[in-house]
Amino acid sequence: MQKTLISIIGSTGIGKTKLAIEMAKHFGTEIISCDSRQFFKEMKIGTATPTDEELAQAKHHFIGHLSVQDYYSIGQYEEDALGKIEEIFEEKDFAVLVGGSMMYEKAVVEGLNDLPEANAENQEKLQKIWDEEGLEKLQEILKKLDEEYYNVVHKENPRRLLRAIDVIWQTGRKYSEIIAEPKHKRDFKVIRIGVTAPREIMYERINLRVDKMLEKGLIDEVKSLTEYQKLVPLQTVGYTEIFKYLEGTWDLDFAIEEIKKNSRRYAKRQETWNRKVENVTWLPYDYSEEQLHEILSKIEK
């Protein structure tokens, strides 16, 4: 029997963790996280890291294994994740991949493209633009060069913006075209399961999720990371807004509304990306036992 990776995709706050745990328990296997912000142990609340109770229900990998001070590239993650999946497949027929970082999911399932190494001159030039003109200028440059990638990239992540612009400048080609090219096939079967909800439900869930983060102590978590706020992992929705509140730039109510708004925007980008992913079996966020059983039966065939 060919080994099978079950990859669960969907927008933020849609219920991917719950489904991943149910899948892992059913198949007696382990979960690989591809949420690039849940890698960092200091960012539990603002990234909605699975709770201790959830982590106890199935073995999870790549959650809280790094510090915000660590450098960890998508290429390193691809290599580490594939190594862990290989380990799991030595004993089990299935493994579960879950998380909202679309490029990280793609790296594991399809592999990364053969992209050029970073160009030092370009990086220096882009860093200067970022320092002097801000993140908005980098966003503007990328939008002009490659609107398709601009529409799906995490726009608050400067590393993604810098990398894409650098590659475009070096190759003279759109980044979205390069990353869409076929890669070497994996030696395991992949089944993608998508969790979906009407937009108003999705937004309602996101708003509620942000309220819960605040109840759990998001402000104190962000405060404890003030000295690291310039680091890339902290250029993240939920953190950048609270830093502005702590600096006195925004009042708390406005910062909270901005977190909700930016989280909704991110969810829309995830939806845009996921609509282009092929061969996905979609499951409603409020799926019934019968619907879940039907999908499990299909996977087992």
> In the predicted model, is pLDDT for residue 198 greater than 90?
yes
Mean pLDDT (the chain) is: 93
In this prediction, residues 116-141 reach a mean pLDDT of: 89
Of 165, 64, 154, the closest CA to residue 104 belongs to 154
Please give the pLDDT value at position 111: 87
13-51 pLDDT, tens digit each: 999 999 999 999 999 999 999 999 999 999 999 999 999
List the domain boundaries for the chain: 4-112+183-300, 120-180
Task: State the Cα–Cα distance between residues 47 and 191, nearest whole angstrom.
Answer: 26
Pick the CATH number of 120-180 from 1.10.20, 1.10.10, 1.10.287, 2.30.30: 1.10.20
Asked whether residue 28 is marked as a ligand-binding residue, the answer is: no
CATH architecture for the domain at 4-112+183-300: 3-Layer(aba) Sandwich (3.40)
Annotation-wise, does 230 bind a ligand? no
Which tokens hold the place of 193? 């399961």
Q: What are the pLDDT digits (tens) for 62-94?
A: 999 999 999 888 889 999 999 999 999 999 999
238: annotated binding-site residue?
no
12 annotated ligand binder: yes
Question: How far is it, in rounded angstroms, from Cα 76 to Cα 26?
Answer: 30
Q: Tell me whether residue 13 is annotated as binding.
A: yes
**Closest CA relative to residue 33, chosen from 1, 66, 4:** 66
Instruction: Bin 13: left if φ > 0, else alpha if -120 < ψ < 50, else beta.
Output: left
Q: Which residue has the higher pLDDT, 182 or 280?
A: 280
